[in-house]
A and B are shown apart, each in its own frame.
Chain A
Amino acid sequence: MLTPLWLTLKIALLATLMAGVVGIALGWWMSQRRFAGKNLIDALLMLPMVLPPTVLGYYLIVVIGRNGVLGQYLDRWFGINLMFTWQGAVIAASLVSLPLIYKAARAAFEDVDGRFLHAARTLGAGEFETFVRVTLPLAVRGITAGLMLAFARAMGEFGATLMIAGNLPGKTQTLSIAIYDAVQAGNDAQALWLTLVISVVCVVVLVVSGRMLQAKH
């Protein structure tokens, strides 16, 4: 009864992790430099959040489908096919989460007063040490809030996930897809139960992340 829940949590957790690493790194990089084309890169990074999920799903198929730009090599050289797998679902979910984390991380880093970084440097800290001891702790609240929103978003990912991972009960049938499936089959009781489960989880995520956003310093 609850397999879709565990599957959803697993996929959402991994997707948030992947998108987190990339999003935080990009957020840091973009917060530090000013260069031509910065706005364009920013727009590209926010694109997965704005594009319709089916468009995203289609692009993913073009790239990682069995005959896709990358997919054909994955299949030929490694025998790996990401379509209809939970790993494919993780990729779809991380793509839609990335903009949320990137945006939150970049804003959090930009909010760190440059004078603290100057102080750290005059006190003998190198760039990495300054990042770890000063920048990161001051940005961590904003970043964490971004991560939690990304997690909630990854949990609810439907359109692109359905196109890439399909609807395979026990393997790729996430909560959202299970609800869709139940509605399609006319199974209202199942649909209602699953909807309640995911609603509760989402509310919890939002309440906790809301608390984290309350400034303390």
Chain B
Amino acid sequence: MTTILELRVQAQLESPGRSFLLDASFNSTTQRTALVGASGSGKSTVLMAIAGLLPQARGYVRVAGKVLLDTAHSVDLPARERGVGLVFQDYALFPHMTVEQNLAFGICRLGKRPNEAERGRIDALIRQFDLEALRGAWPRHLSGGQRQRVALARALAPQPHFLLLDEPLSALDAQLRVRLRHELAEMLERVQVPALLVTHDLSDVEALAQSVIHLDKGRVVDSAITESATPT
């Protein structure tokens, strides 16, 4: 089994009155991995380190075959070059852009209008995530479930090699969560991009992941392959 995610990261975070040391090491061989732990255990920090949004991170990160961070060899790719998509806990959809513009952000760079091929990709995403009716909608008018679809589509727009999801269902109410858990599982299966999913809800782990890493106070305390594991 090939290693999909290899991570050995240390980071010292200082904020007024609080000091947090992240010292996490783990490998994962499954397509979808869950990262669980109590709040404050450092789960989101690990995601930031993988995404390239944590300047204090030191160590080694290799994801889907690509080395993103290797302090020993002075490698530290900036976020925009890492090819890692990130779905935020509350989706962080750009409020001043429509759904379509949010999706297009990762596809067209500044000042450029989308060409033929890029238009095609945007349309494909819209179809794939069932967003046709919401093309011109503003994020503030969308429901929780709709926002989740847009956030996922946006993260996938630049065709990343790896996907990070930060508590993707916690912003939803209980009923919606059950329904969208299924939808998310289906989407992830369809899209075939390896993913690391942060959650504190064990039902998420069961439905969405094939292995799980436990984090506590910035350190990995346990890891396991769950029953629904699919060898790659």
The interface of chain A, by Cβ under 8 A from chain B, is 113, 115-116, 118-126, 128-129, 132-134, 137-138, 217
Q: Is the CB of B92 within 8 A of A118?
A: yes
Q: Choose the segment among B83-91, B181-189, B207-215, B218-226 that binds chain A (4+ C-beta atoms closer than 8 Å).
A: B83-91
User: Is the pair B94, A116 in contact by a Cβ cutoff of 8 Å?
Assistant: yes
Whether B158 contacts A123 by the Cβ 8 Å rule is yes
Interface of B is mostly: loop
Chain A residue nearest to B53 in the complex (CB) = A118
Contacts of B86 in A (CB 8 A): 118-119, 122
B127 to chain A, nearest CB (A): 20
- Find B105's partner among A120, A128, A137, A217 (CB 8 Å cutoff): A120
Point out the residue from B90, B95, B106 that lies within 8 Å of A124, measured CB to CB: B106
Contact status A118-B51, CB under 8 Å: yes
A129: which of B90, B92, B110 is its contact (CB, 8 Å)? B110
Q: Quick check: B95 and A217 within 8 Å, CB to CB?
A: yes
Q: Which of A122, A126, A132, A217 contacts B84, CB < 8 Å?
A: A122
Q: How far is the CA of A97 from the CA of B92 in the complex (A)?
A: 35
Task: Considering the complex, give the chain B residue whose CB is closest to the CB of A120.
Answer: B105
Expressed in whole angstroms, the minimum distance between the Cβ of A157 and any Cβ of chain B is 34
Residues of B within 8 A of A121 (CB): 52-53, 78-80
Q: How far is the CA of A119 from the CA of B94 in the complex (A)?
A: 9
- Distance from B89 Cβ to chain A, minimum over Cβ atoms (Å): 9
Which residues of B sit under 8 angstroms from A113, Cβ to Cβ?
Answer: 92
Among A119, A122, A132, chain B packs the most CB atoms within 10 A around the CB of A122
Whether A119 and B88, one on each chain, are in contact in the complex, defined by CB atoms closer than 8 angstroms, is: yes
* B contact residues, range: 20 to 34
Chain B: CB-nearest residue to A125: B80
0/1 string, B50-88, CB within 8 A of A gives 1: 011100000000000000000000000011101011101
When C-beta atoms are compared, the residue in chain A nearest to B154 turns out to be A123
Q: Is A122's CB under 8 angstroms from B155's CB?
A: yes
- Report whether B158 and A124 are in contact in the complex, using a CB–CB cutoff of 8 Å: yes
Q: Is B140 an interface residue, CB under 8 A from the partner?
A: yes
> CA–CA, A119 to B102, complex, Å?
10
B5 at the interface (CB under 8 A from A): no
User: B96 near A138 (CB under 8 angstroms)?
Assistant: yes
Query: B137: shortest Cβ distance to chain A, in Å?
Result: 14
> Quick check: A133 and B80 within 8 Å, CB to CB?
no
With A121-B79, A122-B53, A133-B105 as given contacts, are A217 and B110 in contact (CB-CB < 8 Å)?
A: no
Q: 28 pairs across A/B with beta carbons < 8 Å?
A: A113-B92, A115-B88, A115-B90, A116-B92, A116-B94, A118-B48, A118-B51, A118-B53, A118-B86, A118-B88, A119-B154, A121-B53, A121-B79, A121-B80, A122-B82, A122-B84, A122-B86, A123-B106, A123-B154, A123-B155, A123-B157, A123-B158, A124-B80, A124-B158, A125-B80, A125-B105, A217-B95, A217-B96
A123 to B97, CA, bound (A): 15
Known: A116-B92, A138-B96. A122 touches B79 (CB 8 A): yes
CB of B18 closer than 8 Å to a CB of A:
no
Within residues 11 to 63 of chain B, which ones have a CB less than 8 A from any CB in chain A? Answer: 48, 51-53
- Given A113-B92, A123-B105, list of 14 further CB < 8 A pairs? A115-B88, A116-B94, A119-B94, A121-B80, A122-B53, A122-B86, A122-B155, A124-B109, A125-B105, A133-B105, A134-B94, A138-B95, A217-B95, A217-B96
